[in-house]
A = this chain, B = another copy of it.
Amino acid sequence: MSVIFYDLAGADPKRRFSPYCWRIRMALAHKQLEVDDRPWCFTEKDAIGFSGQGLVPVIVDRGRSVHDSWEIARHLETAYPDRPSLFGGAEAPIRLIASWTERVVQPQIGRMIIADIVAVLDEKDKVYFRESREKRFGMTLETAQADRDERLPAFRQSLEPVRTVLASYPWLGGAKPNYADYAVFGAFQWARCTSPYKLLAEDDPIFAWHKRARDLFDGLAEKAPAFG
């Protein structure tokens, strides 16, 4: 029986770009689960109303709905203990890494690609997205994104903790990838699937790590519609 997965999609239903959904897409593959994939748009709140809230990712696993990427990851780890571990005994430290990604990495990326995202959205989502995000930034998305070249050096600098790990280990999880990797991976995959902007220098070890992660699970993320 497959796991139903509501995943944020653009005008092209194959273009998936939520950083939180990418965490779960990778986690479902890590757990070797069959996925019944449902592309979902921001304004289709009714389609996930059963979950009691309006955001993806949402999964339905054997009749039970779970939302919030962290809760979904914990559910998968508990429900499928015989499959490869998502946390490798490090649930709390990985929670810190996921939180750091949400509070430090993603806001900086968002600011650099926010206008580009609009172009990949389904028509019915564009007004909702622009209005809600322009309210959040207090300016047009084009203005928010305009100074990204000046923001880029500080962004790259803020990733040093990731580079420290990659200097000694192939994955943030250590010898093998785990949810520590997928949490950070999602942020960069979000950018890759929505914007041609080059966040990472090609000689950055994070660049090579992200390519290795895209190649996991038979190229699950490498094959996804994206830029670059």
Contacts and interface: CB of A to CB of B under 8 A. Distances in A.
A99 B161 contact: yes
Interface string A98-111: 11100110000000
Interface string A137-159: 00000000000000000000000
A160 interface: yes
Contacts of A161: 96-97, 99-100, 103-104
A219 interface: no
Interface string A152-185: 0000000011101100110111100000100000
Interface string A74-98: 0000000000000011111111111
A99 B99 CA distance: 15
Nearest to A88: B89
A104 B164 CA distance: 13
Contacts of A89: 88-90
A180 B103 contact: no
Given A100-B100, A100-B161, A103-B161, A180 B95 contact: no
A89 B99 CA distance: 20
Interface string A110-124: 000000000000000
Interface string A171-211: 11110000010000000000000000000000000000000
A205 to B, nearest CB: 13
Given A92-B171, A92-B173, A98-B164, 5 more contacts: A92-B169, A93-B94, A95-B164, A100-B100, A100-B161
